[in-house]
Structure 1
């Protein structure tokens, strides 16, 4: 229905302007006829002349262009068909003028000219080319815009699929680490084993359902970190954890499970590999949608070798690229300590 309305509007507008041109063009030859009658004659002439133009235009729009886009015929064959259609249209156009418009509508006011008079043929070419050119241009523009929209949607779907893959890759990574913790506690026959399983079930419930959302509140993200830290603390006796937070608006949104891999790494490559007293310091600040996350942990070796991203860090980097326009991630490997500093403008969420 919308397409019919658009096409009808196009041809009505064209008929109006063609009627005005015909009225002005024929005015001197019809000066003895009242202007309202002149306008009516011009309108009837425009309606008669539009028939061959419409036929040619719709042939190009719905046959020739379709053949080119779908590859139904080779391009040179399509061009030959269009040329043949144009020739037929010009002949039809001249027949309408010579045998109907001039003798019937204008009652032979115009000087009689042969069917293939050079000026008449040139006028037919320009008249037909003008309206069909506009219609074809609009059609090609619409096709191009539709193609861009499809491309945009495909890119969006691809990025969403990649983001989902990254999150699904992070989830089992977290699960394996936690199962290792339970295994260690079970071997010690620890009284905390049941509590760890209960906390793990809560985290898994969030991972299965909460992490499927595009964004969660910063309060929910910090609750996940609290639960994970509580799980890990049961394993280590000589570990000191400082978790400082300053949040001006806990309802601010953040991509789910974005901070968890950094905390996992601090335990896995810090506390779990340390034979002596160790610490993990976490600082989270959120002011007016700008999040600063810092985490530092001790490590056994004193090397300052180049940092190699593991699965967790690599996934976080890619998620940041996909989800935020404004962020900064810095990793520092110092003698005895490893630290991460992450800045995110949460208002720059890209909405993949």
Structure 2
């Protein structure tokens, strides 16, 4: 029997090949109610603000893939629309898109958050006990649907709302009784606190397999998708009430200089400019008036901020032109949703599934304003 130190003096014992850990690869769907921080988690994991975020519920309308290479694992993170009680055809499509992402995932990250009412408000000084913890009814319903499927990692977000982290333990205990979770991870996605541990936990659960993406690939979406999203992001931040929900953005033209060279007629050393024309669709003339603003000021501000955001993503100068068009009740109309890029990808128990493809050219506009 060979033992440590066997062999001739002055010669190293022969060693077998070093076994490297097997690579893992798979899809991880981030699901949960609206505004629990799913998009913020995706951005924190990617270490870049790829997905748009806002305080407006149902900001995410389509599943967005972000690729994270974490150790020996390739994690295809899917940010999904928040499950909600839909009031429109668009809302119903969003729920189906989220459900389909969960069904096809290798691992599910179920995300919830610390309710604002549980946040510490001077209890250290007053001596008042925090209100009793309870599981959100929407969380309970969603978790019941996940039984018997892919392994689930529970992520409790917004723990920075607690001054004393011990106060979150009752809520974690109650959530842990709702499902047989593979892991439970409290985080603050906004502060990127605990995000690495989430990646550690999901990596262990992924199947072994070859990587599908290059090391520098971040997403499978085209740039024109993000151009539309970043215009909509500025609408979400600049407007309120019904306007953010009633706005959809379609890229009519996305023109890059041929070969990435200088633009014809440009001076020496001038960088090529990408031309983007986009139409913002709203449902009512009053919403159009709000978006344009007095003397076009609102539309100009939206365009300026969106242009900066897109330029940061692509690293090129862009020329962004915006129009506003009234498309009555587009959120309730299947033909209008199809024209705006929310096409039916198939049928699932009578429900339509969102597809992210944007049309190459928008339909000719009849009611427009340009900025």
TM-score range, shorter chain: under 0.3
State the structure with more CA Rg.
Answer: 1
Instruction: Compare the two structures and name the one with the higher helix fraction.
Output: 1
**TM-score with structure 2 setting the length:** 0.20
Instruction: Compare the two structures and name the one with the higher strand fraction.
Output: 2
